[in-house]
Amino acid sequence: MPAFTASAPAKIILFGEHAVVYGRPAIAVPVQQVQARAVVIPDPLAPRGRVWIQAPEINLDCAVGELPEENPLRKLIQLLQEHFQIDHLPACILRVSSTIPVAAGLGSGAAISVACLRALSAFLGAPLPVEHVSDLAYEIEKIYHGTPSGIDNTVVAYDRPVYFVHGQPIEFLSVGQPLTLVIGDSGRRSPTSEPVGALRQAWLANSVPYEELFDRVGEIARSARANLETGSLLHLGNLMDENHTLLVQMGVSSPELDHLVAAAHTAGALGAKLSGGGWGGNMIALVEPELAEQVSAALLQSGATHTLITQVRP
Ligand code: MEV
């Protein structure tokens, strides 16, 4: 019996996280080195409609109906049934695995959703077009944190660099020159909902200073877009630094992330910032290709639990 397999990449946000939740532009790129994977195996001898989930990394080995209502995988199956207007899926086993660290700002939730939606819709004989994959994954993102901008599901589903503004047509970016980035994991896990929720509370209490910060981040993202297209690395590095300073002012950085950002500079990075929700997770450093290993080693020496070197190509 054939199995249906799909995978989806991780992502990093180059510019504009958090401000993007408040309508400002942001730029994100896929990261191929780590991936989520879903495999659907038809299970015709199982009771009618039973979807059995196996996700050993999160200790799941049960029927989807046994999961709590708000479980993202349960919600995903429900959304698929509604989308295809069916009462149940044919019985199957859904195996989910991922090399993307969880709660680390790398879009692991979105990647798992995208991989599962693709594998399950292929199993149903009706592979979903990318825009539907992204839209359904967005609905699931709402479980991870109540007010997602939609950037994670978009960059992961389309698997291309995006310039994203919530509610506006997606714009794809082409870079003028390859970008080499070192991604450093602070080792601290931080679900996106936590910094996003705290920032929302602060904004609700006193929106004016935060709106100013978001405006400045929006300007940085616009300027970064132009510099990405022309390939002006030095300027991009400076913009990353400015963006990090504004994220610190929003209260979403952490001592570990600030320490890694400083270490990247000392080792010769052109610029560095936290990436994603913050309070933990990953930071990124823009580097000249020949300095990538040096910056990576400096990050590991400064407490990063893991590093990845990635390139964004024209
Ligand atoms: C998370 O990857 C990026 C945030 O801006 C949240 C969002 O856009 O939904 C922090």
Looking from the CA of residue 17, the nearest atom of ligand 1 is 5
Q: Say how many C-beta atoms besides its own lie within 10 A of residue 112's C-beta.
A: 27
Rounded Cα distance, 271 and 241, in Å: 5
Q: By alpha-carbon position, which residue is closest to atom 1 of ligand 1?
A: 276
pTM, two decimals, is 0.96
Place of tokens 């990050």: 299
pLDDT at 136: 98
Residue 16, number of CB atoms within 10 A of its CB: 29
Distance CA 55, CA 62 (A): 9
CA proximity to 166, closest of 20, 47, 28, 56:
20
Probe ligand 1: pick from 11, 14, 15, 17, max atoms within 8 Å of CB? Answer: 17
Pocket flag, ligand 1, residue 277 (CB < 6 Å): yes
- DSSP symbol at 129: P
- The Å distance, Cα 116 to ligand 1 centre, comes to 21
**Cβ atoms of residues 284 and 272 within 8 Å:** yes
DSSP 8-state class, residue 12: E
Q: Residue 233: which region, alpha, beta or left (left: phi > 0; alpha: psi -120 to 50)?
A: alpha
Is residue 25 lining ligand 1, measured as CB closer than 6 Å? Answer: no
What is the pLDDT, as a whole number, of residue 253?
98
**Which of 138, 145, 152, when mutated, tests ligand 1's pocket best, judged by the most ligand atoms within 8 Å of its CB?**
152
Tell me, using a 6 A CB cutoff, whether residue 109 lines ligand 1: no
CA distance 122 to 80: 12
DSSP E strands: which ranges in the chain?
4-15, 26-42, 51-55, 60-63, 92-98, 162-164, 171-172, 179-185, 271-275, 282-287, 306-312
Is the C-beta atom of 192 inside 6 A of ligand 1? Answer: yes
Identify the sign of the CA torsion 253, 15, 116, 183: negative
Residue 83 CA to ligand 1 center (angstroms) comes to 26
Phi-psi region of 249 (alpha: psi -120 to 50; beta: other; left: phi over 0): alpha
Token digits of residue 4: 């249906």
Environment class of residue 126 by beta-carbon count within 10 Å: exposed (0-12), middle (13-18) or buried (19+)?
exposed
Token pair, residue 45, equals 């001898």
- Residues of the chain predicted below pLDDT 50: none
Q: Which two tokens stand for residue 179?
A: 């970008």
Catalytic center residues: 152
d(CA 34, CA 92): 26
> Is there an atom of ligand 1 within 6 Å of 148 CB?
yes
Ligand 1 contact via 275 beta carbon (within 6 Å):
no
pLDDT in tens, 80-118: 999 999 999 999 999 999 999 988 899 999 999 999 999
What's the CA gap between 130 and 146, in Å, rounded?
23
Q: How far is the CA of 88 from the centre of ligand 1 (A)?
A: 32
Using alpha carbons, select from 256, 247, 305, 245 the residue that is nearest to residue 280. Answer: 256
The pLDDT value recorded for residue 144 is 79
User: What one-letter code names the amino acid at 130?
Assistant: V
Confidence (pLDDT) at 1: 67
Per residue in 25-50, pLDDT (tens digit) is 999 999 999 999 999 999 999 999 99
